[in-house]
Amino acid sequence: MKGQVSSLYVHIPFCASKCYYCDFNSYVSTSDVMDRYLDGLDRELEAVSSAYEHLPLQTVFFGGGTPTIFDARQSERMMAMLHRHFRMADGVEISVEANPGTVDLEKLQVLKDGGVNRLSFGVQSFDNDLLVKLGRLHDRDAVYRSWELARQAGFGSINLDLMFGLPGQTVETLQSTLRALIDLGPEHVSAYSLKVEEGTPFYTWYERGKLILPHEDEEVLMYQLVMDSFRASGYEMYEISNYAKPGHRSRHNQVYWRNEPYMATGSGAHGYVNSVRYVNQKDVPQYIETTVGGERPVVETEEISDVMQREDTMILGLRLLEGVTFERFREKHGQDMLDVFAKPIRKYEQRGLLTVDDVGVRLTEQGIFLANEVYAAFLGDE
Ligand code: SF4
């Protein structure tokens, strides 16, 4: 992987309760454990900062879990340790994931003063019955209250996460959520369909026939409705699940989709630096013990071969609607994309799922719906 790293992910693995569909690395815990986690994170940030030759940070993302579960004092500490160990580039994007109902003005102000300039709320739906079915703690009113507080604190770039394909959801009920969401006017929206993941209550209920999900055809209609609604309301669909008002694309997530390097800290976090992917210890007590003891908590490393890097560039890059440009591919891999991937590109071009021009390769409107099939064609085909 060429190019120095200038992005950082920080994982905060705590939530107020566990949503029924969630397989993320997150736990319900006490404030005392959170303090000790911050002790460990402080040491890990220091170690990561000196382990890699990095540039001043262009993007930082605090994800979870629910980073805003920290109180104002802990949030202040979290921001202070970031600035103690890393320099920020001018215009750095610092994002924090939040859940409706977990923010107050004091905490938001602390984050803002610490340089956070982008908030991402896990709203998921404006339908209170659906939110209960998902095991979410918030309701529609909590979304409005948290939104007001965020604006009051001066946040001008807010993402709202949305889910569709939910149990009992119909195209009509999704439509009213979309209307409510668009009325609020967030600068960015991420909209994903529900995936039932093993090890979650949803998985157990699904296996027992107790979780009735919309039919596949209805889910396609929902996806189409999501795309149409945002595009008609001044949002650019720039990635297969992401929509932004002009100037508000997530710069951090584009680092992932462009297959660029990033450092990662926190329990269970995955990083990618110098062509090596690494994974941190997931278990929170173990993570704390290792990091407080002055060791890095890395439990797995994998050297990514040139072949895999080229595949990743295509698979991740085709998620972006601008696709992968010939120039970017050549700069990154020193080869022509069409020399490496002529076969899958031509095959899916003929099927009308990819389009190729002088600039590069991207999904067609039809390809967006069959994206997973297209990505798979780039694996092991060189
Ligand atoms: S808030 Fe997010 S991370 Fe936490 S349990 Fe729910 S889905 Fe998982």
Measured distance CA(134)–CA(123) in Å, rounded: 11
Q: Which of 15, 28, 124, 195 to mutate to test the pocket of ligand 1 (most atoms within 8 A of CB)?
A: 15
Nearest protein Cα to ligand 1, atom 5: 18
- Tell how far the Cα of 125 is from the centroid of ligand 1, in angstroms: 14
Sequence spans of domains, the chain: 5-257, 324-376
Q: Quick one: pLDDT at residue 381?
A: 54
Taking the alpha carbons at both ends of the chain, their separation in whole angstroms is: 19
Give the C-alpha separation, 268 to 276, whole Å: 16
Tokens found for residue 173: 């009920």
CA distance 382 to 344: 9
Quote the Cα angle for 33-37-42, to 5°.
150
DSSP class per residue in 25-74: S-B---HHHHHHHHHHHHHHHHHHHHHS-EEEEEEEEEEES-GGGS-HHH
Q: Whose CA is nearest to atom 7 of ligand 1?
A: 22
C-beta 99 within 6 A of ligand 1: yes
CA 149 to ligand 1 center in whole angstroms:
21
Instruction: Give me ligand 1 centre to Cα 111, in Å.
Output: 20
Ligand 1, atom 3, lies closest to the CA of 65
For ligand 1, mutation pick of 11, 17, 18 (most atoms within 8 Å of CB): 18
> pLDDT-based confidence at 1, cuts 50/70/90?
very low
What phi and psi values does residue 69 have, to the nearest 5 degrees? Answer: -75, -25
CB of residue 24 inside a 6 A radius of ligand 1: yes
- Rounded Cα distance between 143 and 160, Å, is 10
Q: CB under 8 Å to 183, separation ≥6 — which residues?
A: none
- Dihedral pair phi/psi, residue 341, rounded to 5°: -120, 30
Cis status, amide bond into 65, omega within 30 of 0: yes
Ligand 1 within 6 A of CB of 254: no
Distance (Å) of CA 291 to CA 27, 51, 267: 19, 14, 10
134 Cβ inside 6 Å of ligand 1: no
Percentage above 90 pLDDT, the chain? 98
pLDDT tens figures, 337-352:
999 999 999 999 999 9
Q: State pLDDT tens for residues 239-253.
A: 999 999 999 999 999
Cα–Cα distance measured from residue 218 to residue 166, given in angstroms and rounded to the nearest whole number: 11
What distance in Å separates the CA atoms of residue 233 and residue 193, rounded to the nearest whole number?
20
User: Is 26 close to ligand 1, i.e. is its CB under 6 Å away?
Assistant: yes
335 closest CA partner among 357, 376, 307 = 307
Say yes or no: CB of residue 291 within 6 Å of ligand 1.
Answer: no
Rounded-to-integer distance, Cα 199 and Cα 11, Å: 21
Of all atoms in ligand 1, which is nearest to the CA of residue 23? 8
Pocket of ligand 1 contains residue 29 by CB under 6 Å: no
Predicted confidence at residue 151, as pLDDT, reads 98
15 within ligand 1 shell (Cβ under 6 A): yes
Radius of gyration of the chain, Cα coordinates, nearest whole angstrom: 21
Atom from ligand 1 closest to the CA of residue 65: 3
The pLDDT tens digits of the residues spanning 84-118 come to 999 999 999 999 999 999 999 999 999 999 999 99
User: From atom 2 of ligand 1, which residue's Cα is the shortest distance away?
Assistant: 65
CA angle 321, 325, 326 (to 5 degrees): 155
Dist CA 245 CA 85 (whole Å): 32
pLDDT tens sequence across 29-67: 999 999 999 999 999 999 999 999 999 999 999 999 999
Distance 123 CA to ligand 1 centre (A): 11
Per the DSSP assignment, residues forming a β-bridge with 12 are 64
User: Binning pLDDT at 50, 70 and 90, where does residue 182 land?
Assistant: very high
Ligand 1 midpoint to CA 22 (Å): 6
Alpha carbons 312 and 315: distance in angstroms, whole number: 5
| Nearest-angstrom CA–CA distance, 61 and 66 | 12
In this structure, the dihedral spanned by the alpha carbons of residues 24, 241, 375 and 318, taken in order and rounded to 10 degrees, is -120
Closest C-alpha residue for ligand 1 atom 8: 22
Ligand 1 pocket residue status of 125, Cβ below 6 Å? no
Chain-centroid distance, C-alpha 172: 27
The domain made up of 5-257 has a fold known as TIM Barrel (3.20.20)
The alpha helices in the chain, defined as continuous H runs, are 31-51, 72-85, 105-113, 128-134, 140-152, 171-184, 201-207, 216-231, 251-257, 284-292, 306-317, 326-333, 337-350, 365-369, 371-376
What is the model's pLDDT at position 2? 45
Residue 276: is its pLDDT beyond 80? yes
Residues 202, 207, 211, 214: is their CA dihedral positive or negative? positive
Q: How confident is the model at residue 3 (pLDDT cuts 50, 70, 90)?
A: low
Question: How are strands ordered across the β-sheet holding 270-273?
Answer: 270-273, 276-280, 298-303
Task: Report the residue among 12, 17, 23, 26 best suited for mutation to probe ligand 1: largest number of ligand atoms under 8 A from its CB.
Answer: 26
Closest ligand 1 atom to residue 16 Cα is 4
Query: Does ligand 1 lie within 6 Å of residue 167's CB atom?
Result: no
Residue nearest to atom 6 of ligand 1 (CA): 19
Angle between helices 72-85 and 31-51 in degrees, nearest 10 = 10
